């Protein structure tokens, strides 16, 4: 049994690592095409980002793998696979609840990690990317990776979710984690600068966190930042070659 649990944890780490390489690699390629030269001179930094991210994949995979084993073998968790087990409207609502819960956890642990002592121990690695690139999505010190790794494995015990909806949450998490760091905005201007962008976080918003540190702490939504007065609005990107 212990071997099966360890194997599941290891398999999940490999999956998370491969997912990272594909997602970050894909967006790095898109950056090459859309913003040629944007990452010029950042090769060493990108190497470090990949190293920290792969270490984070190992940490993210461990609790996820243990919970996945428990789900399959012991009936743990509130993940369901028959879509008729809950009303259909629960599908989008559960996705939204997962994102909101993750966002809340992230906002407060992130603010906490900006206290000087903790910053040096846990969060400086993430901010060593100046400016961040598509490879920085999981570039965290192991302490920080640990705070992120427990969220979804804990939520599946609390909030019922269809396995497909969970896949949707993980996809959004991956895409936003990468695109928020890639150094340019992929969403249309009407969305980012319009009413929707007032509440949703995309690359332009997170860029300002990496520029100024003491604002824009959120992950998906600007709700906590706006409620707590830490939202300093959208950032801007340095022009290539400037
Ligand atoms: Zn960041
Ligand atoms: Zn930060």
The 3-class secondary structure across 53-107, one letter per residue, is HHHHHHHHHHHHHHHHHHHHHHCCCCEECCHHHCCCCHHHHHHHHHHHHHHHHHH
Ligand in nearest proximity to the CA of 136:
1
Q: How far is the CA of 168 from the centre of ligand 1 (A)?
A: 21
Q: Which domain holds residue 13?
A: 2-183
Q: How far, in Å, from the CA of 110 to the mean position of ligand 2?
A: 6
Q: Residue 28 class from Cβ within 10 Å (0-12 exposed, 13-18 middle, 19+ buried)? A: middle
Distances (CA, A) of 25 to 29, 202, 242: 6, 19, 25
Other CB atoms within 10 A of residue 50 CB: 19
Distance 181 CA to ligand 1 centre (A): 6
Q: What's the gap in Å between 136 CA and the centre of ligand 1? A: 8
Q: How far is the CA of 70 from the centre of ligand 1 (A)?
A: 32
Q: How far is the CA of 145 from the centre of ligand 1 (A)?
A: 12
- 121 lies in a domain? yes
pLDDT tens track, the chain, 242 positions:
999 999 999 999 999 999 999 999 999 999 999 999 999 999 999 999 999 999 999 999 999 999 999 999 999 999 999 999 999 999 999 999 999 999 999 999 999 999 999 999 999 999 999 999 999 999 999 999 999 999 999 999 999 999 999 999 999 999 999 999 999 999 999 999 999 999 999 999 999 999 999 999 999 999 999 999 999 999 988 755 44
Task: For residue 79, report the distance from its CA to the centre of ligand 2, in Å.
Answer: 31
As for how many domains the chain has, the answer is 1
Give the ligand whose atoms come closest to the C-alpha of residue 230.
Answer: 2
Question: In angstroms, what is the span from residue 128 Cα to ligand 1's centroid?
Answer: 10
- 81 falls within a domain: yes
Helices 2-34 and 163-179 cross at an angle (nearest 10°) of 50
C-alpha 63 – ligand 2 centre gap (Å): 24
Q: Would residue 139 count as lying in a domain?
A: yes
Cα separation, 82 vs 164, whole angstroms = 10
Distance between alpha carbon 198 and the CA centroid of its chain, in Å? 20
- Identify the helix (H) or strand (E) that includes residue 162: strand 161-162
Q: How far is the CA of 6 from the centre of ligand 2 (A)?
A: 32
Ligand 1 centroid to 31 CA: how many Å? 17
Rounded to 5°, angle at Cα 48 from 45 and 52: 140
Structure tokens at 83: 């879509």
Check if the beta carbon of residue 95 is closer than 8 Å to that of residue 168: yes
> Alpha-carbon distance 164 to 57, whole Å?
22
**Å from CA of 72 to ligand 1 middle:** 34
The answer to whether residue 39 is domain-embedded is: yes
Alpha-carbon distance 5 to 67, whole Å? 9
Nearest to 161 by CA among 41, 50, 77: 77
In a domain, 165, yes or no: yes
How distant is the alpha carbon of residue 216 from its chain centre? 15
Question: What distance in angstroms lies between residue 87's CA and the mean position of ligand 2's atoms?
Answer: 38
User: Which residue shows structure tokens 């390629």?
Assistant: 29
- On whether residue 78 sits in a domain, the answer given is yes
Instruction: Tell me if 7 is assigned to some domain.
Output: yes
- Tell whether 214 is covered by a domain: no
Radius of gyration of the chain (CA): 18
Cα 61 to averaged position of ligand 2 atoms, centre (Å): 23
Looking at all shown ligands, the one closest to residue 123's CA atom is 2
């Amino acid at each position: 049994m212990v071997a099966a649990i360890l194997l599941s944890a290891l398999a999940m780490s490999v999956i998370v690592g491969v997912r990272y390489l594909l997602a970050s690699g894909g967006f790095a390629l898109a950056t090459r095409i859309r913003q040629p030269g944007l990452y010029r001179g950042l090769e060493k930094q990108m190497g470090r980002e990949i190293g920290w991210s792969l270490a984070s994949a190992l940490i993210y995979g461990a609790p996820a793998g243990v919970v996945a084993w428990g789900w399959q073998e012991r009936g743990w968790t509130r993940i369901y696979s028959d879509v008729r087990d809950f009303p259909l409207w629960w599908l989008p609502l559960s996705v939204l609840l997962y994102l909101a819960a993750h966002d809340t956890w992230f906002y407060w642990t992130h603010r906490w990690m900006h206290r000087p002592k903790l910053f040096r121990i846990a969060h400086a690695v993430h901010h060593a990317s100046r400016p961040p690139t598509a490879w920085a999505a999981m570039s965290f010190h192991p302490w920080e990776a640990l705070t992120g790794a427990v969220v979804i494995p804990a939520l599946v015990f609390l909030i019922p979710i269809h396995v497909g909806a969970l896949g949707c949450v993980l996809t959004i998490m991956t895409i936003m984690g990468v695109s928020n760091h890639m150094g340019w905005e992929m969403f249309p201007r009407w969305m980012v600068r319009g009413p929707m962008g007032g509440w949703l976080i995309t690359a332009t918003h997170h860029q300002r966190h990496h520029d100024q540190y003491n604002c824009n702490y959120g992950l998906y939504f600007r709700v906590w930042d706006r409620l707590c007065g830490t939202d300093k609005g959208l950032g801007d990107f340095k022009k290539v070659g400037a």
